[in-house]
């Protein structure tokens, strides 16, 4: 009796399943058909998803949410932010790499997820799956020490390390992130690998906390993590990774000034799946450019400490692809 | 006659798991090992401890005269359990295709049947109202997007 | 005085209350956590003034940490990781028909923990901040080890199986990116595993999904009910509360300190407090079978984390846990720089934050106590309707954490594992502990060794680290030794 009931149930399950899969595949084909003529001019005809490969509440998420409002104003369709955190951004990137080339799935990516992570491990994408649209923000890195540290200039740090190779430790937000890989890249370029000992933490806040507690000798961290501690007198920034002095901290010299070829930033930018029609990409590029001039967006970016740095699709693509190749070499050397 | 106890089976399963992990540990990059402790150090330690504990478990089990040798799940329950797992797996498979509301209505409906509910009105009401309520709670009130 | 009037404006109070209610909802639904609540409502605070924004966010924070206890007690499903230890005694109490007493105990304990940590925050912030800074990788490792030593106490009956469970947790937690080298480990070629085993999904699976499976077995098809006795309408008595005074205090202190130390959190705090309460108890054998002390310890500790976590955030600009990391963003959005300057330049905002945190705890107490009658109605729902709903809630929660469907699969898989563990008498809590502690133990061990340039003596030459390592060794072997002595006394030689 019981058994019969259950086998009956099993049949119902199978039946319902088959109906749904049938429906669903039908619906999917319908979608394809309607999307086909949308090669450009009538884009966007349906809501666009912005994949943010980081957790809700973080800098990237807040930027995406701020821009989604103005993008909707510009293009007339809702832009929906969808957080897909995990694997230093790799999970969200891999998802967009597998998406359709129709411009309805965009990603707000960052330098690490775009140019370092895929070189470090097989994460299911490289730089070839993406069509960069526009860079929106770029934050410099800083080398900071505790206020009571004997080091007053970046030169002194390097000089001390030359005499005591490997003795100085530097903390960063994590292994294989831009803070770490770019610094190791600089040391490789100078032919001085192992000059500093790297200590990877779990996020910038932990690296800052470790520096404050004197666990490490210096930190390489993004400017927004260092500046508050500078203002409160706990840290001293010795150098900033911009080409010219950073507007927020005019007193801090650049690495270039001290003779170190260290120009790098944590950039954020949008991309679609490679193969998305040019017309769509151009439309989006224009919308991003306009959005970044919107007073409300400017205000929000200022509040969340993300310096706006618009870069058009052409230069952004160049930057992305050349960084990718550069870090590929560095990571290969690091993993040797 | 010596029978194999449940605990021995458990021990062997954990040893198998350790071996599976071992096959992956040897593939980890040896480079970038900080002060000699690479990516494989900690997992290796855990795997070794796991094997030791498993062996100890097997040994105590073999020496134990009152060991339990039966693994009790009633026959009809095995079927029910397999069904609920299949149902859940199917739900995960269908979710991205059919969307949240439709797949959840179907799943709740079938789950209620599986749990032996017989009141038709309750089944239909629950399976329709609950997914809709969750959908609105998440999407509208809490701003959490669903598939 | 003027300050206080400004701070306690009607709109601020309402924001605070709304925050607490939203928080409780987030906390109670498995998978939705306080962190998510704060993160999702952060954009709403852009236009608000600082105090109003913190009224809302702190409300969500406090409510969210508390809310997890409701479902933990009523349906054996910890709504948030911080309430996992509450399940151990809260649910057995509910099974004995003491759901109301158990819930009110959780509410009152949460309130006491929250308020005591507020007091610590207000009076001792600058001194306490020093504790946060004295914790380096070596100390974190030692604390992690201390946490792991609880395994012996959690493995009722069979230590070997408890160890296996903990090792299993430690092992699966290594899946994903290695925190020290960035190499991918044990992903078996699956992209979704590069992010690691999501802790909350695993928790939902181990506790809640496995419970659905067991219920499917035990359910009585005719009545649709299973086991749970009727609910008697009374809240916990003054006598029980009074007998827990020391427990409240101890657990609140543990919670506050764990909150202050960055990179740990309420999940760790509740387990540590639970273990200490069990060790100090006159009836340790009651733990796990329905001891009010267990519920009190776990809940007082996890809510005490709130005040503690704000200490390093406000005084140093360093978040004490994941939620306060999002709040750091909230402060910066308001143009405020956390750190010593905040106390001199924005005294008003700091006062506002203190007041709102206290108020949030009061609202939590009120909403919690008034809500108990409504909460226990869940128990009136026949199990054969409740369980399908719980399963679907688990799945939607698992999905919502990372918007990943694969996490539902993880919850299902861990549900099967949890179910099988129960069947062969392997305790599940040690596995959870293993998953929580793996990142703390492994990464900090390797970091400490890097900083000390390979000198292992760093763990014993640093005083805090040494103390914790000694306590861990003691606390691991104590239950084994005391158990052995007891058995010797009873003259039975069964292992």
Residue C150 token pair: 């609880």
Residue C495 token pair: 């292992």
Provide the chain A residues 192-211 that lie in CB contact (below 8 A) with chain B.
198
Residue A131: its pLDDT value, please? Answer: 96
Whether the per-residue pLDDT at B73 is higher than 80: the answer is: no
For residues C165 and C171, give the distance between their C-alpha atoms in angstroms, rounded to a whole number: 10
% of chain C exceeding 90 in pLDDT: 50
Q: CA-based angle C181:C187:C193, to the nearest 5?
A: 100
SS3 state of residue A222: strand
ipTM of the complex: 0.93
Cβ–Cβ contact A23 with B under 8 A: yes
- For chain B, list the contacting chains (3+ Cβ pairs, <8 Å): A, C
Residue of B84, B87, B118 to mutate, testing the C interface (most C Cβ within 10 Å of its Cβ): B84
Rounded to the nearest angstrom, the minimum Cα separation between A41 and chain C is 31
The mean pLDDT values, 10 residues at a time, for chain C of 495 residues are: 72 95 92 87 84 95 94 88 92 90 95 96 87 89 90 81 95 90 85 86 91 84 53 77 94 94 82 91 89 96 94 86 85 80 85 95 96 86 88 92 91 95 91 90 92 90 93 82 76 47
Pairs of CB atoms within 8 A across B/C? 183
Q: Which residues contact C47 (CB under 8 A, 6 or more apart)?
A: none
Q: Pick from A12, A24, A198: which is nearest to B98 by CB? A: A24
Cβ–Cβ contact C214 with B under 8 A: no
Residue of C35, C164, C190 to mutate, testing the B interface (most B Cβ within 10 Å of its Cβ): C164
Establish how many alpha carbons lie within 13 A of residue C456's alpha carbon, considering only the half-sphere containing its beta carbon: 2
CA C127 to chain centre: 25
% of chain A exceeding 90 in pLDDT: 73
Sign of CA pseudo-dihedral A175, A176, A177, A182: positive
Asked whether C464 and C143 are in contact (CB, 8 A), the reply is no
Residue A10: its pLDDT value, please? Answer: 53
Q: Calculate helix-pair angle for C406-423, C210-218, nearest 10 degrees.
A: 50
What would the mean pLDDT of B36-44 be, rounded to a whole number?
84
Q: What confidence tier does B31 reach under pLDDT thresholds 50, 70, 90?
A: low
Residue A8: its pLDDT value, please? Answer: 54
Residue A38: its pLDDT value, please? Answer: 47
Asked whether C293 and C244 are in contact (CB, 8 A), the reply is yes
Q: CA-based angle C392:C394:C399, to the nearest 5?
A: 95
For residues B112 and A42, give the distance between their C-alpha atoms in angstroms, rounded to a whole number: 46
Burial of C456 (0-12, 13-18, 19+ CB in 10 A): exposed
Q: Which residues on C lie below 8 Å from B116 (Cβ)?
A: 219, 221, 224, 384
Q: What confidence tier does A26 reach under pLDDT thresholds 50, 70, 90?
A: very low
pLDDT in tens, C381-432: 888 888 999 999 999 989 988 888 999 999 999 999 999 999 998 999 999 9
Q: What confidence tier does A33 reach under pLDDT thresholds 50, 70, 90?
A: very low
For residues B14 and C165, give the distance between their C-alpha atoms in angstroms, rounded to a whole number: 10
Cβ–Cβ contact A16 with B under 8 A: yes
Q: CA-based angle B49:C475:C239, to the nearest 5?
A: 135
Establish how many alpha carbons lie within 13 A of residue C16's alpha carbon, considering only the half-sphere containing its beta carbon: 26
Cβ–Cβ contact A4 with B under 8 A: no
Asked whether A92 and A113 are in contact (CB, 8 A), the reply is yes
- For chain C, list the contacting chains (3+ Cβ pairs, <8 Å): A, B
SS3 state of residue A330: helix
Q: Are strands C184-185 and C176-177 parallel, antiparallel or unpaired?
A: antiparallel
Q: Give, in order, the Cα–Cα distances in Å from B18 to each of B56, B83, C214, C435.
A: 15, 30, 28, 17
Q: Give, in order, the Cα–Cα distances in Å from A62 to each of A93, A257, B20, C387.
A: 18, 34, 41, 37
pTM recorded for the entire structure: 0.87
Q: Which of A128-142, A187-201, B114-128 has the lowest mean pLDDT?
A: B114-128
For residues B55 and C75, give the distance between their C-alpha atoms in angstroms, rounded to a whole number: 36
Residue of B142, B143, B146 to mutate, testing the C interface (most C Cβ within 10 Å of its Cβ): B142
Contact B83 A24 (CB under 8 A): no
Asked whether B42 and C434 are in contact (CB, 8 A), the reply is no
DSSP C232: P
Q: CA-based angle A310:A315:A318, to the nearest 5?
A: 135
For residues C184 and C355, give the distance between their C-alpha atoms in angstroms, rounded to a whole number: 45
Residue C284: its pLDDT value, please? Answer: 87
Sign of CA pseudo-dihedral B96, B101, B102, B106: positive
Q: CA-based angle A67:A72:A78, to the nearest 5?
A: 105
Rounded to the nearest angstrom, the minimum Cα separation between C399 and chain A is 11
Torsion of CA B116, B119, B122, B128, to 10 degrees: 70
Cβ–Cβ contact C481 with B under 8 A: no
Residue A255 token pair: 């690495």
Provide the chain B residues 18-37 that lie in CB contact (below 8 A) with chain A.
29, 31-32, 34
For residues C424 and A258, give the distance between their C-alpha atoms in angstroms, rounded to a whole number: 66
Contact A24 B114 (CB under 8 A): no
Contact B97 A20 (CB under 8 A): yes
Spatial CA neighbour of B86 closest among B120, B127, B114: B114
Ordered by start, the domain boundaries in chain B are 6-63, 75-141
Asked whether A159 and A215 are in contact (CB, 8 A), the reply is no
Q: Which residues contact A261 (CB under 8 A, 6 or more apart)?
A: A186, A189, A255
Q: Of A5-14, A187-196, B28-37, give the range with the top mean pLDDT.
A: A187-196
For residues A280 and A272, give the distance between their C-alpha atoms in angstroms, rounded to a whole number: 10
Contact C40 B144 (CB under 8 A): yes
SS3 state of residue A135: strand
In the numeric block, the tokens 């072997």 are attached to C477
pLDDT in tens, C181-198: 888 889 888 888 888 898
Whether the per-residue pLDDT at B144 is higher than 50: the answer is: yes
Q: Pick from B32, B79, B97: which is nearest to A334 by CB? A: B32
Burial of C457 (0-12, 13-18, 19+ CB in 10 A): exposed
For residues C282 and C131, give the distance between their C-alpha atoms in angstroms, rounded to a whole number: 32
For residues C296 and C246, give the distance between their C-alpha atoms in angstroms, rounded to a whole number: 11
Q: Which of A45-49, A53-57, A233-237, C172-176 has the lowest mean pLDDT?
A: A53-57
Q: Pick from C180, C391, C408: which is nearest to B111 by CB? A: C391
Q: Which residues on C lie below 8 Å from B41 (Cβ)?
A: 446
Q: Pick from A9, A16, A335: which is nearest to B114 by CB? A: A9
Between B51 and C478, name the one with better pLDDT.
B51
pLDDT in tens, B99-122: 999 999 999 999 999 988 888 888
DSSP B23-63: HHHTTS--TT-BTTB-TTHHHHHHHHHHHHHHHHHHHHHHH
Shortest CA distance from A331: residue in chain B: B32
Cβ–Cβ contact A28 with B under 8 A: yes
């Amino acid at each position: 009796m019981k058994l019969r009931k259950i086998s009956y149930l099993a049949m119902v399950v199978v039946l319902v399943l088959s109906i749904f899969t049938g429906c669903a595949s039908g619906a999917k084909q319908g979608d394809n058909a309607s999307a086909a003529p949308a090669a450009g001019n009538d884009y966007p005809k349906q809501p666009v998803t912005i994949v943010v490969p980081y957790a809700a509440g973080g800098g990237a998420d807040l930027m995406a949410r701020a821009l989604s409002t103005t993008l909707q104003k510009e293009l007339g369709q809702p832009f929906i932010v969808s957080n897909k955190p995990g694997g230093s951004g790799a999970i969200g990137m891999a998802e967009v790499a597998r998406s359709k080339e129709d411009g309805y799935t965009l990603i707000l990516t960052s330098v690490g997820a775009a140019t370092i992570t895929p070189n470090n491990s097989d994460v299911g994408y490289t730089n070839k799956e993406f069509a960069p649209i526009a860079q929106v923000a770029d934050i410099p890195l800083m080398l900071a020490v505790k206020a009571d540290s004997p080091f007053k200039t970046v030169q002194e740090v390097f000089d001390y390390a030359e005499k005591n190779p490997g003795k100085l430790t530097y903390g960063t937000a994590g292994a294989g992130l831009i803070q770490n890989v770019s610094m190791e890249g600089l040391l490789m370029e100078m032919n001085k690998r192992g000059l500093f000992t790297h200590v990877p933490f779990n996020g910038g806040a932990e690296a800052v906390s470790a520096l404050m507690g004197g666990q490490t000798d210096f930190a390489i961290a993004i400017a927004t993590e260092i500046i508050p501690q500078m203002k409160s007198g706990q840290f001293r920034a010795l150098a900033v990774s911009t080409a010219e002095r950073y507007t927020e901290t005019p007193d801090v010299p650049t690495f270039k000034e001290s003779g170190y070829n260290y120009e790098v930033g944590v950039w954020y930018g949008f991309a679609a799946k490679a193969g998305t029609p040019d017309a769509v990409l151009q439309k989006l590029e224009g919308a991003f450019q306009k959005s970044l001039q919107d007073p409300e967006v400017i205000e929000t970016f200022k509040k969340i400490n993300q310096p706006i740095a618009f870069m058009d699709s052409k230069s952004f693509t160049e930057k992305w692809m050349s960084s990718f190749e550069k870090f590929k070499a560095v990571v290969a050397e690091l993993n040797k | 006659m010596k029978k194999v106890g449940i605990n021995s089976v458990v021990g062997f399963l954990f040893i198998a798991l350790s071996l599976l992990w071992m096959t992956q540990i040897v593939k980890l990059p040896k480079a970038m090992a900080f002060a000699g402790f690479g990516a494989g150090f900690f997992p290796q330690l855990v795997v070794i401890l796991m094997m030791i504990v498993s062996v100890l478990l097997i040994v105590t089990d073999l020496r134990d005269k009152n060991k339990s040798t039966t693994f009790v799940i009633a026959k009809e329950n095995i079927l029910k359990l397999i069904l609920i797992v299949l149902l859940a797996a199917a739900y995960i498979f269908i979710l991205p295709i059919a969307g949240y509301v439709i797949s959840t209505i179907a799943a709740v409906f079938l789950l209620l049947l599986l749990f032996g509910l017989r009141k038709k009105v309750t089944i239909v009401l629950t399976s329709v109202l609950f997914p809709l309520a969750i959908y609105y709670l998440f999407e509208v009130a809490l701003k959490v997007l669903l598939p | 005085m003027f300050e206080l009037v400004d701070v306690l404006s009607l709109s601020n109070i309402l924001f605070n209350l709304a925050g607490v209610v939203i928080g409780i909802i987030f906390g109670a639904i498995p998978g939705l956590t306080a962190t998510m609540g704060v993160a999702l409502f952060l954009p709403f605070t852009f236009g608000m003034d600082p105090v109003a924004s913190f009224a809302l966010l702190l409300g969500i924070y406090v409510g969210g940490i508390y809310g997890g206890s409701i479902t933990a007690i009523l349906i054996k499903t910890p709504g948030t990781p911080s309430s996992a230890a509450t399940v151990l005694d809260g649910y057995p109490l509910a099974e004995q028909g003491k759901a109301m007493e158990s819930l009110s105990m959780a509410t009152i304990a949460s309130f006491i923990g929250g308020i005591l940590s507020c007091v610590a925050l207000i009076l001792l912030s600058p001194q306490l901040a020093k504790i946060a800074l004295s914790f380096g990788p070596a100390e974190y490792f030692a604390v992690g080890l201390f946490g792991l030593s609880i395994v012996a106490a959690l493995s009722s009956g069979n230590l070997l199986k408890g160890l296996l469970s903990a090792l299993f947790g430690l092992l699966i937690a290594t899946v994903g990116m290695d925190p020290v080298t960035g190499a991918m480990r044990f992903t078996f070629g699956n992209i979704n595993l590069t992010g690691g085993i999501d802790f909350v999904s695993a928790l939902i699976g181990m506790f809640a999904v496995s419970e659905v499976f067991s219920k499917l077995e035990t359910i009585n098809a005719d009545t649709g009910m299973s086991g749970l006795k009727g609910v008697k309408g009374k809240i916990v008595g003054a006598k029980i509360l009074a007998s827990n005074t020391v427990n409240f205090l101890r657990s609140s202190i543990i919670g506050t300190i764990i909150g202050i130390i960055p990179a740990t959190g309420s999940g760790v705090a509740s387990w540590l407090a639970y273990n200490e309460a069990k060790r100090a108890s006159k009836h340790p054998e009651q733990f796990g079978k329905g001891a009010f002390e267990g519920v009190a310890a776990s809940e007082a500790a996890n809510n005490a984390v709130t005040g503690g976590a704000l200490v390093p955030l406000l005084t140093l600009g360093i978040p004490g846990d994941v939620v306060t990391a999002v709040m750091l963003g909230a402060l910066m959005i308001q143009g405020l720089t956390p750190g010593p300057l905040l106390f001199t330049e924005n005294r008003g905002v700091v006062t506002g934050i203190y007041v709102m945190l206290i108020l949030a705890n009061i609202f939590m107490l009120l909403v919690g106590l008034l809500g108990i009658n409504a909460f226990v109605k869940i128990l009136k729902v026949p199990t054969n309707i409740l369980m399908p709903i719980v399963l679907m809630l688990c799945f939607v929660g698992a999905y919502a954490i990372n918007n990943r469907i694969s996490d539902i699969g993880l919850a299902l898989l861990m549900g099967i594992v949890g179910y099988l563990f129960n069947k062969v008498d392997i305790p599940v809590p040690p596995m959870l502990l293993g998953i929580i502690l793996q990142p703390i133990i492994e990464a900090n061990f390797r970091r400490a060794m890097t900083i000390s340039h390979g000198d292992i003596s760093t763990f014993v030459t640093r005083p805090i680290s040494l103390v914790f390592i000694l306590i861990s060794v003691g606390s691991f072997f104590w239950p084994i030794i005391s158990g052995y002595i007891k058995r010797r006394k009873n003259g039975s030689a069964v292992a």
